[in-house]
Structure 1
């Protein structure tokens, strides 16, 4: 099952600032990422630029999107980065989330709605479910691999 580990934004990340010990932090993050890659759980991950560089698109009826330029006021609702990981269950995903090399901050862990979750419900055609599974499998094939 895939999980999204969401790095919550802070006032500093929203200002585009790195911590004073960022060289050490980035080295620790690289080591952590390499451990996840070697374990075969990391599918993707990245830091995000501050919301001032982004846009928010709100939909008020089909075909009527409203675009708002960042920055966005509620830092506690923003994300600063993420990992996509694939683990056998929530306990394994949680074990990785607990190892994030942060001294402060917050990470949110959320399971994906997988194609299999829709099987037998009658809300999605099997063809669509199979297509989604194919996309997931392709993503896993394209995920970073540990050097052999």
Structure 2
């Protein structure tokens, strides 16, 4: 089962500054543990929203509206993600609970979501 751990942005992550050495070491250790367990598919951080664009598909069949960053409330943005492949929802929760504060300073927030795998699963959600 695929799961995404979505690291929410914060005012600190939106500055674009690198995290502390201690946090980078803790995240490296976490990534190594994921790798050793054979569950990590991918993990990446994102540049701040100031270097991004947002496409809004407001009118069907027409070109989307393009908005340049930075975007509003950092808590509504994503600063990174982990994609893991585990046997169960419980295992995904266990890995999420092991993650260090991904932003530091008590600002970290992670959302855990299961990935839809294929059309059969999509149809079962209807």
TM-score (norm 1): 0.75
| Residue 90 of structure 1: how far off its partner (Å) | 1.0
1:94 Cα offset (Å): 0.5
For structure 2, the residue ranges without an aligned partner over 5 or more in a row are none
* Cα pair distance change 1:118/1:80, threshold 3 Å: closer
Q: How many residues align?
A: 119
- Determine which structure has greater relative contact order: mean sequence separation of CA pairs < 8 Å that are 6+ residues apart, divided by chain length: 2
**Aligned equivalents of 2:75, 2:7: Cα separation in 1:** 11
In structure 2, the residue matched to 1:54 is 52
Asked which structure has the greater CA Rg, the reply is 1
Q: 1 or 2, which has the higher helix percentage?
A: 1
1:110 aligned onto 2:113: yes
Q: CA deviation at 1:18?
A: 3.4
Residue 89 of structure 1: CA displacement? Answer: 1.1
Alpha-carbon deviation of 1:29? 0.6
What's the Cα RMSD here? 1.6
